[in-house]
Amino acid sequence: MKKYLVTCDYNLEELVIEEIKQNITEATEIKQFENFSHRVSFLVPNFDKEKNNSILQKILSLRSIHSVIELKGSFYLDKPTLENLKEKIMEIDLSELKTAKSFRASAERYGTHDFTSMEMAKHIGHTVIMRYKTPVSLTEYEYNLRVDVIGSFVFVGYQITDDTLAHRQGNYNKIERIFHHRAATKHTLAYHLLTLAGLQEGDSLLDCTCGGGTIILEAASMFGNKIKILAGDMHEKAIKGTKENLKLNNFDFVEVRELNARHLEETIEDYVEENGQLDKIVCNLPFGIQSAKQVNMRGLYDQFLSSANKILSKNGKIVVLTMRQGVFREVIFMIKKYKITKEYVTEAGGLYLHIFVIEKI
């Protein structure tokens, strides 16, 4: 069996597990890795080379993950020293490095130790050279040997991905960008928001605070023109940038316009008359960090939710990302038009964000 570890957004491991179950039928023992956040592990059978490669392509095509590591072993350190670490790593079978043309060593350290991540990588690299006589190359390597120390726990494996898949810049789920919004949502988070909305073919989707268009770019990449997508923002720069990003990816079926999230029933009245009420509203609402006045956010959230209620279909859903969870929850209870069906806490850029899934009462 092969064991894989994928990294993901904080506290959303159960959503990653669900995506793996749906897309990799060969996977078993799918679970949060050793109860650590940001990590999910699973097993797949070790088939022939062609089948193994096919499974790996499916893993790399997952939309909820940041990186992929093929695990080779794990252990606990009795004494968290570099010498003890080297001894334990020597016990792990890394036979692929016997015939490898080159390798590099990467290391991450979490907790308090008497050594740095850089010192770890240096000593691990020296250990491999002494054991397998394999040359080091920091750029043109065949294997990237990854060693993470989390307190006294250590795992060792080969890192498959070089750059984070969350940026959609690689060969998998690739999305091009010319405009980058300063407060852009990560594509992995956008995927989770869309999944929690239960988006499916034939639906209509609105992102009324589109910023750089991450949510609608992700939706368009997932469904193409099998859903109707409307995006908007109050700021001309965001509207222009979103249009440029959509054009770059040939998503010409997405409609973008200037609109006000406080007055949706007015700014998209013509759209609703032509296409009917919206099935899903998914957006990253402003946090109000610059003003730091929650009262401002209360007014925005009240007007947004009251306005959205008029254009949302009877069985529609709203999924929002916000840092002002207390204010948002208060407004929901106050206006008595919605019920909260799911709520998650996650993290991005050092900020703890809440995902709310709400439906009409």
pLDDT of residue 286: 84
Q: What is the mean pLDDT of each run of 10 residues along the chain (361 residues)?
A: 97 98 98 96 96 97 98 93 92 95 95 93 93 94 96 97 92 94 92 97 97 97 98 96 97 97 94 96 79 66 97 97 95 97 94 96 95
pLDDT of residue 288: 57
Q: What pTM was computed for the model?
A: 0.94
- DSSP single-letter state for residue 330: H
Alpha-carbon distances of 225 from 167, 176, 210, 230, 353, rounded to whole Å:
22, 18, 18, 12, 30
Of the candidates 305, 360, 349, 344, the residue with the CA atom closest to the CA atom of residue 327: 305
Q: What is the pLDDT of residues 58-91, one digit of tens each?
A: 999 999 999 999 999 999 999 889 999 999 999 9
Q: Which fold has domain 2-165?
A: VC0802-like (3.30.2130)
In whole angstroms, give the CA distance from residue 315 to residue 304.
Answer: 18
| Beta strand pairing call for 143-150 and 103-110 | parallel
Amino acid identity, residue 169?
Q
Q: Please name the residue that has the structure tokens 């904080």.
A: 10
pLDDT of residue 22: 97
Residues counted in the chain: 361
In whole angstroms, give the CA distance from residue 185 to residue 166.
Answer: 10
Q: What is the pLDDT of residues 293-326, one digit of tens each?
A: 444 789 999 999 999 999 999 999 999 999 999 9
Strands (E), 128-213: 143-150, 153-159, 204-207
- Level-2 CATH architecture, domain 175-360: 3-Layer(aba) Sandwich (3.40)
Strands (E), the chain: 2-8, 28-32, 39-44, 65-76, 103-110, 143-150, 153-159, 204-207, 228-233, 255-258, 278-284, 312-322, 338-348, 351-360
Residue 156, CB-side half-sphere exposure with 13 Å CA sphere: 23
pLDDT of residue 291: 42
The residue extents of the domains of the chain are 2-165, 175-360
CB 186 within 8 A of CB 348: yes
